[in-house]
Chains A and B, each alone.
Chain A
Amino acid sequence: MVEKAFVVGLLSSTVAAATPLLLATLGEIICERSGNLNLGVEGMMLVGALTGFVAALWTGNPYVGFLVGTLSGVGMALLHAILTIELKANQVISGIMITLLGTAMTTFFGNAIDTKSIDGFSEVTIPVVGDALLQIPILGPVFFRAHMPDFLALALVPAVWYFLNRTQFGLAVVAAGEDPETADTMGIPVKFVRYAAVLIGGGFAGAAGADLSLAYANIWGAQMTDGRGWIAVALVIFASWQPLRALIGAYFFGFIDALALRSQTLISELSGTGLDSVVEFALDPSIMTMYPYLLTIIALIVISREASAKELGAPSALKEPYVREAE
């Protein structure tokens, strides 16, 4: 029988695995809502992971590392913003190149600290009511004793929703992504708004990377993001550009990630049912790692067949550089 400690461990690592996905997805939602597709998330995450790790290594403070990682994500995003908004470069090519650039740069500069490890974020509880919350069976230790970025990511879900739906600036972001011409005539500075959205998205991606090296793994490793940036790009479509659905998607993929880490235990738990070879195949760690990718491809097919991208909630002007007529 599966033990309670196993369930708590499984769910705790679901939270830990979901956090970087959630942060990156929320950032990409803001970015895409403004009409800019950023495929550089993976590269921005890697840069955030490395710079955050180095800063934490030097200062001994993971919070400083997290901040530095976030800011370097903004820096990478500035490059993407200049290229796509200012120089009107193809968003797809710019994004892919930024991912390749981030991978190559971090491999080069990260080489020196490949073997170092840090303490990273320690687990914290919510002040005052924390101890009481921990008493809740299973869910208490899962959700109320976690790393700072885990709480931050969860808090950002309603915050991003509120930003996009209730604040003036958020509505300007959405307007710039839906109909830049009209937004412009209404006096919204489209270019500025898009710059801001791309930079915010980059900051989220950098934070997601810093979470990986400072809370999830506590080490730096070349290409440690392992495709998570791409999963975030896919999760945006999965979530129909809605922050609340991003939460569900990120936690679902985080759960698969947590299961894959425990495949040996699961295989032995489920042995002797007469389906051993099927179970062993389906729960093989390599096969399990494929599931998010397979599911995303299937979801994309279903979505694309059933509805046009518009009905899905894609910003109408996504991928379109905005050129003002007759300045």
Chain B
Amino acid sequence: MMLPTVDVSHREESGRALDLGLPVLTVLGALFVGAIPLLALGTDPLAFYWTMLVSSPSSSNGSLRVLVKLVPLVLAGLTVYLPLKCGLINIGAEGQIYMGGIAATWAAMNVSGSSLVVLGSMVGCGMLAGGFWAAIPAYLRSKWDVNEIIVTVFMTFIAIQLNEYMIRGPLQGRTGFPSSPLFSEAAILPTVMGDTLHVGIISVPIAVAIAYLLLNRTQTGYEIRLMGSNPDAAEQAGVSKLRIFMLTMILGGLFSGLAGMIEVSAIQNKLISNFSPRYGFTAIPIALLGQNGAVRVAFAALFFAVLSVGGTDAAATYGVSNSIIDFIEASVILFLIAAEFFRRYRVDVRLRSATATGGGV
């Protein structure tokens, strides 16, 4: 008698097909699950997905809005991705975004001069604040082995509360309104190609190139990857934990600080409560989806940007609640966890004679 048997074994290395195929399957699986609430609401999922993934993002206005969303998602995605490469889990990108926004607002309110001077100091302050916020957990982890996950989560909550304090206190504009004053023209990033897309978009190719070159073309990049794949070997080879941890975390913090600056300058034109719609948390699935390369992080971010922009349009077109986007995002996450298993283990289903295995029960 022939019975199918399932063998699970550890994978030494994941093949190229699997490497590329898994993220695609993850996304397809998520869209499949997302169809369930749509069907329940009586909406045609195919038509909804067509609007969400094709017609809205490919329209001239939609594509520009996708690019605008891409900026914070790529920057925050790299913030999680870089430390992940050396074995650190940074879930504090959201806090680093807030610190960047707060510091940039401080600069906008206190620096005067030409647009170049004001924007330059906003970028500088925002990035420094983000980098500083990331340096603390990195230092604590490398010096005293303090768990970086809990510290980055809590520093995010602290940054969000600091933002609340600032918009009602030191950085408040008009009394009674919990926000900073509206920025002057000089403190707002100029737009290109119409008035949707802003110049912050140039940070996307630059940040991806920096991350790619650092990881793949430098000795330090090799050390980062070694630290992530085999920490004992890395330490024996004399790689400094402090240097690697600080470098990846701070570089990531600089990116998220910049994202915060861009968000307050180009999108909100002032500092407000909850100015980041959880970009720093969406960054975690983005980094996991693109964990095999900086360029893939950018593609994962693009998918989430399309999901956000196209999803909003499709939800409006079909009269569905906007939070369907959250649901599809959650499904992506669910499939991501399952995909982890297939990345690390090999599952063989074979037909084998039952007697040869010692008799089935």
**A interface list, Cβ under 8 A from B:** 39, 83, 87-90, 92-94, 96-98, 100-101, 103-105, 107-108, 111-112, 227, 230, 233-234, 237, 284, 286-287, 289-290, 293-294, 296-297, 300-301, 304-305
Given A39-B149, A227-B157, A301-B140, check contact A83 B337 (CB 8 Å). Answer: yes
B334 within 8 A of A: yes
Tell which of B146, B337, B340 has the most Cβ of chain A within 10 Å.
Answer: B337
- Interchain nearest-CB distance for A166 vs B (Å): 30
Find chain A residues with CB under 8 A from B341 CB: 83, 87-89
Taking a contact as CB atoms under 8 Å apart, the answer to whether A104 and B154 are in contact is: no
Taking a contact as CB atoms under 8 Å apart, the answer to whether B330 and A104 are in contact is: yes
B321 within 8 A of A: yes
Q: List 6 interface pairs A-B (beta carbons < 8 Å), by A numbering.
A: A100-B284, A101-B334, A293-B158, A297-B150, A301-B146, A304-B147
B275 within 8 A of A: no
B259 within 8 A of A: no
Bound CA span A117–B251, Å:
46
Bound CA span A145–B45, Å:
51
- Interchain nearest-CB distance for B224 vs A (Å): 19
Please report which residues of chain B, range 284-331, place their CB below 8 angstroms from some CB of chain A when the two chains form the complex: 284-285, 288, 321, 323-324, 326-327, 329-330
Find chain A residues with CB under 8 A from B281 CB: 100, 103
Chain B residue at smallest Cβ distance from A86: B341
Chain A residue at smallest Cβ distance from B168: A286
Find chain A residues with CB under 8 A from B169 CB: 284
Given A96-B91, A286-B165, check contact A111 B323 (CB 8 Å). Answer: yes
- Interchain nearest-CB distance for A232 vs B (Å): 11
Choose from B140, B162, B333, B336 the contact partner of A286 (Cβ within 8 Å): B162
Bound CA span A87–B335, Å:
13
Find chain A residues with CB under 8 A from B340 CB: 83, 87, 89-90, 93-94
Q: A227-B157, A296-B150, A304-B145 are in contact. List 17 more A-B contacts (CB 8 A).
A: A83-B341, A87-B341, A88-B344, A89-B340, A97-B337, A100-B284, A101-B330, A101-B333, A103-B330, A105-B326, A234-B150, A286-B162, A293-B154, A293-B158, A297-B146, A300-B147, A301-B140
Given A108-B326, A111-B323, A286-B162, check contact A94 B337 (CB 8 Å). Answer: yes
Given A290-B158, A297-B151, check contact A105 B345 (CB 8 Å). Answer: no
Bound CA span A83–B344, Å:
13
Find chain B residues with CB under 8 A from A83 CB: 337-338, 340-341
Chain B residue at smallest Cβ distance from A303: B146
Chain A residue at smallest Cβ distance from B141: A304
Please report which residues of chain B, range 328-361, place their CB below 8 angstroms from some CB of chain A when the two chains form the complex: 329-330, 333-334, 336-338, 340-341, 344-345
Bound CA span A92–B148, Å:
12
Find chain A residues with CB under 8 A from B338 CB: 83, 87
**7 nearest A-B residue pairs (beta carbon):** A104-B330, A293-B154, A286-B165, A87-B341, A108-B327, A286-B164, A104-B326
Bound CA span A289–B333, Å:
29
- Interchain nearest-CB distance for A259 vs B (Å): 15
Chain A residue at smallest Cβ distance from B327: A108
Chain B residue at smallest Cβ distance from A284: B165
Find chain B residues with CB under 8 A from A297 CB: 146, 150-151, 154-155
- Interchain nearest-CB distance for A238 vs B (Å): 11
Bound CA span A245–B89, Å:
28
Find chain A residues with CB under 8 A from B288 CB: 93
Taking a contact as CB atoms under 8 Å apart, the answer to whether A230 and B330 are in contact is: no
Choose from B153, B323, B327, B344 the contact partner of A230 (Cβ within 8 Å): B153
Bound CA span A205–B151, Å:
21
Given A88-B345, A286-B162, A297-B154, check contact A107 B326 (CB 8 Å). Answer: yes
Find chain B residues with CB under 8 A from A94 CB: 337, 340
B229 within 8 A of A: no
Chain B residue at smallest Cβ distance from A42: B153
Find chain A residues with CB under 8 A from B336 CB: 97
Bound CA span A237–B145, Å:
14
Given A101-B334, A104-B326, check contact A96 B345 (CB 8 Å). Answer: no
Find chain A residues with CB under 8 A from B329 CB: 104
Find chain A residues with CB under 8 A from B165 CB: 284, 286-287
Taking a contact as CB atoms under 8 Å apart, the answer to whether A301 and B144 are in contact is: yes
Taking a contact as CB atoms under 8 Å apart, the answer to whether B157 and A108 are in contact is: no
B205 within 8 A of A: no
